[in-house]
Structure 1
Amino acid sequence: MTETTPGLLPRDTVLHIRDTCLCLAVQRAARRLARRFDAALRPFGLTNGQFALMVALNQPEPPPIGRLAPFLGMDPSTLTAAVKPLARRGLLVVEPDPDDGRSRRLRITPEGVALMRQAVDVWREEHAALEAMMLPGMAEALRTGLGALAQPPL
C-alpha cells in the first residue's frame, strides 16, 4: 500500500509553477549549458566557471576579489574557494592589493594566458554550434534579457 503525503499542493498549482517559473527555467537551462561547456573545456582541465574567471582576469591590472565576485555573480568567499585550484596549477596568482592591505587581487599568469589561448578556440566552436541551434536573433535577445535580470534593483 502506498501512503500519500497529506496537504500536498493541488496538481494544477504544481503544473503552473513548472510551466511558468522563470527561475526554474533559467536554472534548468543554466545547468544544461554548464554541462555542455564543462565537457568542451574538460581537455584543458577547466570548468565553465573557471573559464569565465580566467577570462575576467585577462586585463592589464589585476582586479580585486571584491570587485570581481559580483561581476561573476558570486560572493567573495565562493570566489576565493574557486581560485585555489587555479592558483595551485599556476594559472593565476593571488596578490595583496597595494591600495588596501586587507584586500587581494587576482592576476592571470603567463601559463594561464597560454591555456586560455587554447581553450578560447574550443569555446568559440562550442558557442557557435550552440547559437546555430537557435532561431535568428534568439541568442542576442536571451543575452539582453538575462543581462537585464542580472542588474541590481534600483
Structure 2
Amino acid sequence: MVLSHPLPFSKAVQVHGACLCLHTQRAARLVARRFDAGLKRHGITSGQFSLMMSLNRPEPGSVKWVADLLAVDRTTLTAALKPLERKGLVEVETDPADRRGKLLSLTAEGQRVLAEAVVTWEGLQAAEEGRLANPDELRSALSALR
C-alpha cells in the first residue's frame, strides 16, 4: 500500500533523534546484554537476577508486590518465574491468608546463586557506571519517568 502523503524522511530522522522510548529501550537492551553475558556463568539472566534480588527479603513477596516493584504485569512475572522454579531457585506457594494469592521466595539454592551472582553484578555495575559522567543523575532522571 502506498500512502498518498508519506511522511518525509526528515520526520523519521527527527523522531529517531528525539524519541525517549527508543533511546531508553536501546540503552536498556545494550546494558542488559552486557549484564546477561556476565551473569551467564551463574546460569541466570539479568532479568532473572533482578527478579531474584526482589525476592531477597525477610518475608515472601506476593505476586502483586513483586510485579509492581519490577513494573511488569502478573502474567509476565508468572512466566519469568517458571524457569527459576524449574531450576530450584525460587519457590511459589499459596498464600495462607488468601488462598487465591501466591507468595514468592528464594530457595536455599536460589540464595546461594544470588550471593555468588551479586559479586559479578558489582563488577558489571561498576563498569556500566564508569561509562557515565554522572550515574546518579541518570538514576534520578529515570526515576522521574515513573
Shorter-chain TM-score range: over 0.9
1:143 aligns to 2:136 (yes or no):
no
Determine the structure 1 residue equivalent to 2:53: 55
TM superposition shift of 1:5: 4.5
Q: Secondary structure at the match of 1:58?
A: coil
Instruction: Determine what percentage of the aligned residue pairs are the same residue.
Output: 45
What's the RMSD between the two structures over aligned residues? 1.2
Structure 2: gaps (5+ residues): none
Higher normalized contact order (CA 8 Å, seq sep 6+, divided by chain length): 2
Rounded Cα–Cα distance in structure 2 between residues aligned with 1:63 and 1:98: 13
Q: Distance in 1 between matches of 2:83 and 2:20?
A: 33
Q: Which amino acid aligns with 2:141?
A: G
1:99 partnered with 2:92: no
1:26 equivalent in alignment to 2:32: no
Q: Distance in 2 between matches of 1:79 and 1:113?
A: 19
Equivalent-residue separation in structure 1 for 2:56 and 2:138 (angstroms): 25
Q: Which residue of 2 aligns with 1:17?
A: 15
For residues 79-138 of structure 1, what are the alpha-carbon distances to aligned partners after superposition, in whole Å with 9 as ceiling and x for unaligned? 001001101111010011122110101010110010011100010001101111211xx2
- Shift of the alpha carbon at 1:8? 2.7
Q: Which amino acid aligns with 1:114?
A: R
What is the correspondence of 1:90-129 to structure 2 with a 5 Å cutoff?
A: 90-129=88-127
**How many equivalent pairs are there?**
145
The CA distance in 1 between the partners of 2:106 and 2:143, in whole Å, is: 26
CA distance in 1, matches of 2:67, 2:41: 26
Q: Which runs of at least 4 in structure 1 moved beyond 6 Å after TM superposition?
A: none
User: Is residue 70 of structure 2 the alignment partner of residue 72 of structure 1?
Assistant: yes
Deviations, residues 35-90 of structure 1 (Å, cap 9, x unaligned): 11111111111111000000000001101001110110110011001001101111
